[in-house]
Amino acid sequence: MTVNAVNVAASSGSRTARRLGSGLPFVIPFLIVAFLFLIAPIVYGLWLSFTEQSLMGNGGWVGLANYAEALGDATMWATLWHTIAFTLMSTVPLVVLALVMALLVYIGIPGQWFWRLSFFAPYLLPVAVVVQIWTWLFNSDVGFINYWLQQIGLDRVGWLTEVDVAMWSMVILTVWWTVGFNFLLYLSSLQAIPDLLYEAAEVDGAGFWRKLWSVTLPQLRATTVLVATLQVIASLKIFDQMFIAFNGGSGPEGSTRPILQYIYDTGFTNYRMGYASAMSYIFFIVIIVITVAFRFLTRSRKDVDNEL
């Protein structure tokens, strides 16, 4: 009797502990993976950024010297600017075009399946294929685009070779490639808007534009914030397109090299891992600042709208 009582007391006291114990085995695999492939590399990278480590070893502690060098490195600032410029140039068309395309399909231009397919199909292609297609199209001498420009009496454009144009070419390529994903997000949230709202608006005598401005776009606000945030982060990480299009070079007069490529070139081509790590961390902070600022902007506008 007493023995049983003791057992009951012990088991109830250790219930929480046992529950933890039985859950732990399920979490451990995740913890191991997260530690090995996320936490450890992040900490190791931070440590690297304070050393002179090269790919071949030979590293000594240099404190903040790498950060000081990076802040005074004109190439880092230039490539950081290229990345931000690309983000500004690409995010706007990637959001606006996706919205326009989704509206066109939703409003019901004939042959919906065809538009859906052709808007989304490029997204399925691997980046190497996309860039290869476009470098042929963009070729200033034998390319398809310049051929047609000349046919209609315009001058040839050095799509990949002119300083003022090369970044736009990367934007065009990227928009063509990835706009389909944003288009799909918009289309699905368009389809989720209740017909009720449109019926009510019609009863109140709203025409097409009034319905668009007062029903459709406000209903899409959450999607727009999501699409724009995802797009800003994706555009900041630009690397592959430039790296492939310019054969690992930096474009005409170095005008297209994004900061991630500069970090890659520093770490893996010039073997300066310490310095590359320091720049990675600076860029990491820039991404966080931009993302938080962006979230803050979009959120505050929503709050203001809610108050009205």
DSSP 8-state assignment for residue 35: I
Residues 6+ apart with CB under 8 A from 141: 156
Tokens describing residue 191: 């389809």
Nearer to other proteins, 8 or 128 (CB): 128
CB of 249 to other proteins, least distance (A): 5
CB of 140 to other proteins, least distance (A): 5
CB of 162 to other proteins, least distance (A): 6
Nearer to other proteins, 159 or 181 (CB): 159
Asked if 184 contacts 120 with a C-beta cutoff of 8 angstroms, the reply is yes
Beta bridge partners of 54: 57, 272
Angle 273-307/74-107 helices, nearest 10 degrees? 40
CB of 60 to other proteins, least distance (A): 9
Q: Cα–Cα distance between 94 and 107 in angstroms, integer?
A: 20
Nearer to other proteins, 163 or 212 (CB): 163
CB of 253 to other proteins, least distance (A): 4
Q: Cα–Cα distance between 288 and 267 in angstroms, integer?
A: 22
Nearer to other proteins, 99 or 259 (CB): 259
H-assigned helices in the chain:
2-13, 15-34, 40-48, 65-71, 74-107, 112-120, 127-138, 144-151, 163-191, 195-203, 208-211, 217-219, 221-236, 240-245, 259-264, 273-307
CB of 247 to other proteins, least distance (A): 6
Nearer to other proteins, 100 or 137 (CB): 137
CA 119 to the chain's CA centroid: 19
Where do contacts with other proteins occur on this chain (CB under 8 A)? 52, 54-58, 75, 135-136, 139-142, 158, 160-163, 166, 245-254, 256-257, 265-266, 268-272
CB of 150 to other proteins, least distance (A): 12
CB of 78 to other proteins, least distance (A): 9
State the amino acid at position 154 in one-letter form: L
Nearer to other proteins, 75 or 214 (CB): 75
Instruction: Give the Cα-Cα-Cα angle 63, 64, 67 (nearest 5 degrees).
Output: 145
Tokens describing residue 13: 């006291």
| HSE-CB of 63 using CA atoms within 13 angstroms | 2
Nearer to other proteins, 45 or 249 (CB): 249
Cα–Cα nearest to 255, from 172, 164, 174, 169: 164
Nearer to other proteins, 143 or 180 (CB): 143
